[in-house]
Amino acid sequence: MEAAVSTATSHPNLVSTYYYDIKPVYHDLDTREGGLQVTRATQHTEDWKLFLVLEYCHCTLGYAMRADLLHKGQMPIWDRVLQLLLDVAQGTLYLHNLQIIHGDLKPENVLLKADKEVAVGLIAKLTDFGLAISLGPTATHASNFRSGTPFYCAPEVCCS
C-alpha cells in the first residue's frame, strides 16, 4: 500500500517518491548470519522488503518541536506553527479527496523541508503511507479501522 499511495499521488504537502522496488528476503540458517538477506526470488520466498527513494527533507515535525524550531523561549512562533498546521491539513485533505486515509498521522510522519520560497522558511510534507487505506468510491467511513500509533488516534477510533 505504501508504494501504491506514494507513487500514485502528487501534492506539495506529500513527500515525493522517486523510485521504489520490492525485493524478496530470507533468513539463511545455513550460514548462521543474523538478520534478513535480500536476494533474488526463490521458491521459498515468504517475506518482501520495500525500498523507497524519497524526496529529501530536513527533519520531522517531532524533532522540530523538541529542538525549539517552532518557538522562541516560551512563546510559539505562531506564523510558522499555523503555516505548518495548514500544510498538514492540505496534505490530508488531498488524500481524503482521493478516498485515502493516512492511518498513522503523527509528528514523526510529517517531514519538514526548508524552502526559501515560503514565508516561514519550511514546508510540511506527509510521509509513511504503510498503514494507509483506500476507501471505495461510495464509502463514507472505515468500519473497524484500527491502525496507527495509539497515542495519536482519535478517541472515537481507539475507544469504539
Catalytic residue ranges = 104
Give Dmax (Cα) for the chain.
60
Residue 15 makes CB contacts below 8 A (sequence gap 6+) with: 6, 54, 55, 57, 111, 125, 126, 127
Phi, psi of 92 (to 5 degrees): -65, -40
How far apart CA 85 and CA 130 sit, in angstroms, is 22
